[in-house]
Structure 1
């Protein structure tokens, strides 16, 4: 066994026995979740045509800097804390929001490339959304032993992506609006999870439970 392999093996054994090594980096979970929740809430309101809004482009700035950059940074900070799940989730959804925003930036040329072929654009956007459903579903499987709140968050996000994809594929406005409604529900759960991360014992008057899932002991 090489010195590198020995070092990696020692590190893995340490983590198994003692958990992630201590770090001075604060918990970025609240930042990532609040950023995700706020951006999802705004776009979902647009998807249900709240206040008569049909064009969603106002969300571009939010998607670039709040849902995108802030979440990406939260994901990067999760890595040195040893939280692979949080790092993967925040970094990926940060990238999702930045890529989504890029589609609607006129100078990106993405929508313009389809010209007058609106049906092809809709099919392409549907594939984009269903791909994120697949990723979210796999992430949900990874969250099944964490807590009920995160499982619920990812479950309703899965439904949101499916409805939005089907709505844009079929051009059925009611299906897209249903996707927006589930998106609002997803955002509310994300706000709850974010507040739970923010309210810590010793610094807050109360805390919010995330719903502990009993761990099965494996011999």
Structure 2
């Protein structure tokens, strides 16, 4: 039997190893943070605490509540998170729409309180089914969406009826929503940075 000699210089090169995939950071910290801050500033005005905040929020509504949340939503699409993609992109568009109405006096006057009530009603219905969907996410998101839903209901009723007390109630509920969303943002970024659970999200 003849032995087969193998020459190292004639061996085929090893198949190139696939490049390691770059991990995509969780965009929830950005999305929740943008939603929290914009909601907080507007709710200060809605609750009657700082009326001037209703004008200051316009810059946030366009850049942070709008653009930043849309970016977070697009990243969620790439990560395969249907809930996060739908929520962040949609509420980013909500803030962009709010900015467009409120920054144009003629449009705001034409929309009026009834038109704004219709706008808020649409977002109330959207938030209702997103609240149902959130029941399979984590405790923080369930709480955020539940309180947000009640805030939209109060603001919608306030817009249709012109009842200032109900409108201000919506503002207070918005402040609670902002605080909960801020906690969620803080939890995501802190847990990711510390590489352990520091602040619980109460995952389902």
Rg (Cα) greater in structure: 2
What is the rounded CA distance, in whole Å, between the counterparts of 2:192 and 2:186 in structure 1? 13
Residues 104, 82 of structure 1: CA spacing in aligned structure 2 closer, same or farther, 3 A cutoff?
same
What is the rounded CA distance, in whole Å, between the counterparts of 1:148 and 1:132 in structure 2? 22
2:174 counterpart of 1:183:
yes
Q: Which consecutive residues of structure 2, in runs of 5 or more, have no partner in the other structure?
A: 1-20
2:125 maps to which residue?
134
2:23 maps to which residue?
24
Are 2:42 and 2:53, in contact at CA under 8 Å, matched by a contact in 1? no
What is the rounded CA distance, in whole Å, between the counterparts of 1:105 and 1:65 in structure 2? 13
What is the rounded CA distance, in whole Å, between the counterparts of 1:71 and 1:59 in structure 2? 15
2:33 counterpart of 1:34:
yes
Are 2:140 and 2:201, in contact at CA under 8 Å, matched by a contact in 1? yes
1:211 maps to which residue?
202
Greater Cα shift, 140-149 or 39-48? 140-149
2:151 counterpart of 1:160:
yes
Give the number of aligned pairs.
184
Q: Which consecutive residues of structure 1, in runs of 5 or more, have no partner in the other structure?
A: 1-21, 115-120, 214-219
Of 49, 57, 60, the match for 1:59 = 57
**TM-score using structure 1 length:** 0.79
What is the rounded CA distance, in whole Å, between the counterparts of 1:59 and 1:201 in structure 2? 29
What is the rounded CA distance, in whole Å, between the counterparts of 1:95 and 1:201 in structure 2? 27
Are 1:23 and 1:81, in contact at CA under 8 Å, matched by a contact in 2? no
Of 92, 98, 104, the match for 2:96 = 98
What's the CA shift for 1:49? 1.6
What's the CA shift for 1:205? 7.9
Residues 201, 42 of structure 1: CA spacing in aligned structure 2 closer, same or farther, 3 A cutoff?
closer
**TM-score using structure 2 length:** 0.84
What's the CA shift for 1:23? 5.1
Q: Deviations over 1:17-50 (max 9, x none)?
A: xxxxx65321111000000000000000111121
Structure 2 residue matching 1:57: 3-state secondary structure? helix
1:144 maps to which residue?
135
What's the CA shift for 1:212? 2.9
What is the rounded CA distance, in whole Å, between the counterparts of 1:145 and 1:44 in structure 2? 28
What is the RMSD computed on CA atoms of the aligned residues?
Answer: 1.8
Q: Deviations over 1:87-127 (max 9, x none)?
A: 110000000000011001126x312436xxxxxx2111111
Of 109, 112, 115, the match for 1:124 = 115
